[in-house]
Structure formats: structure tokens, C-alpha cells
Amino acid sequence: MDAKQTADFPAEIETVRRRFEQWRKGRQIPSPIPESLWAEAVALAGRYGTARIAKVLRLGYYSLKKRLERETTASACRSERPPAATFLELAAGSGPAGGPCLVEWEDASGAKMRVQIQGVAAADLVALSRSFWEGRR
């Protein structure tokens, strides 16, 4: 690209475009694009649009789009915050009181809940368990 064409680009696009050009000049054919360059391209595509960045950096549109979608999905998952902790009081059962009991739940994402109870009916414990598992979806 000549100077007139690149003058229309923000400086960060031009910087990444030059990195791609340097890599292309020094690589051995065939060699995959380094992940660090892909990461920069994906970041630019998120800000300036996939079609524009694919054209400027001479990348496959669909390859860049797929990587951007993966990154967008991954960052959305990372940014989800767990729901705020809630308090659930269980009424003591009418049957004989049992000894103290410690119940712990942990799901695949690492969310944990620990409850120390005494004299709670099994139905209440099931309800508590259900609220934890359904609240994680």
C-alpha cells in the first residue's frame, strides 16, 4: 500500500499492518500466522469491523470472523458475574432434631456453597440444593 492509502488508517491499524508485512517478508512458506498477530487482528476487527481489517491486513475474512466470534463468546463468558449471594432460611423440621451437619456444593465452574445446618428436614435440604443448582444456569 502506498502512503496515500495508509494515511486513512488510524495509527494502531497501520502499526499492525506493518507487523504483518514484516512477518510476511521474513517467513518461510508455508507457515501459519503467529497467534500474537492473530490476537492483534482480532482486537482491531472488534473495534473497526471485520471486513475492513481483513482487507487492510490481507487476511481471510471468514478466518478473521471466526476468531472474532470465538473471542467475543469467550470474553462474554469471562465477564459474566455470578449472581449475588442470597440468604435462604430453612425452618426446623417438626421431627427429632439431628446433630449439626455441614453441607457443601460445588459446580463445574467452581461456584461453591457451604451450609451448616441442624434439625432440617430432607425436603428443605432438597429445596436448598435445587436453588443452588438452578441459580447457576
Domain boundaries defined on the chain: 3-79, 83-137
Of the ranges 7-11, 33-37, 118-122, 124-128, the best mean pLDDT one: 33-37
Q: Report the Cα 24 to chain-centroid distance in Å.
A: 31
Q: What is the DSSP letter of 93?
A: P
Rounded to whole angstroms, how far apart are CA atoms 29 and 93? Answer: 74
pLDDT at 4 over 50: no
* 120: number of Cβ within 10 Å: 19
18-77 per-position pLDDT tens digit: 999 999 998 888 889 999 999 999 999 998 999 999 999 999 999 999 999 988 777 666
Backbone phi, psi, residue 107, to 5°:
-95, 180
pLDDT at 2: 46
Q: What percent of the chain has pLDDT over 90?
A: 36
Rounded to two decimals, what is the model's pTM? 0.51
